[in-house]
């Protein structure tokens, strides 16, 4: 009986430790950019979390644009920052997208997968 109580207390502590975690994706790029000849527009985000069990080496952020996904790469010399180029056809003036960050975290008995999805963003393209 005593071992059952100890295990129950341990399980409750583990569950409570996982509560209150927050993870956020913050857009750092301007929401309006001037049209360029390449049709590629830089997007940079910051990913912050207080999840202690997160396995940082498994972070995989990408832009979701309709049915297309564009992987992001870590911004050199900056922690928690990611960037990519968003293609926008010359025939349109807006691009709607979201940022999704896939990752793994340590769990018992084995690591688990999870993800964070940003709110929707809109890039406005202006002609010169």
Helix, coil or strand: residue 41: strand
pLDDT band at 95 (very low <50, low <70, confident <90, very high): very high
Q: Domain limits of the chain?
A: 21-126
Q: What is the pLDDT of residues 64-80, one digit of tens each?
A: 999 999 999 999 999 89
Side by side, the strands of the sheet bearing 23-27 are 23-27, 40-49, 81-87, 73-74
If you average pLDDT over every residue of the chain, what do you get?
A: 88
Beta bridge partners of 123: 95
Q: What is the pTM of this model?
A: 0.80
Half-sphere exposure of 71 (CA within 13 A, CB side): 4
- Per-residue pLDDT, 20: 75
**How is domain 21-126 classified at the CATH fold level?**
Immunoglobulin-like (2.60.40)
Q: What is the pLDDT of residues 36-52, one digit of tens each?
A: 999 999 999 999 999 99
């Amino acid at each position: 009986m005593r071992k059952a109580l100890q295990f129950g207390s341990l399980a409750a502590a583990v569950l409570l430790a996982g509560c209150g975690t927050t993870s956020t994706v913050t857009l750092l790029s301007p929401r309006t950019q001037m049209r360029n000849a390449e049709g590629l527009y830089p997007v940079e985000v910051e990913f912050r979390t207080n999840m202690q069990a997160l396995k940082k080496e498994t972070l995989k952020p990408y832009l979701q644009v309709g049915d297309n996904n564009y992987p992001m790469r870590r911004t050199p010399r900056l922690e928690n920052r990611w960037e990519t180029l968003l293609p926008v056809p010359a025939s349109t003036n807006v691009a709607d997208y979201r940022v999704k960050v896939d990752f793994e975290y340590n769990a018992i008995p084995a690591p688990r997968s999870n993800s964070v999805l940003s709110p929707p963003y809109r890039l406005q393209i202006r002609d010169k």
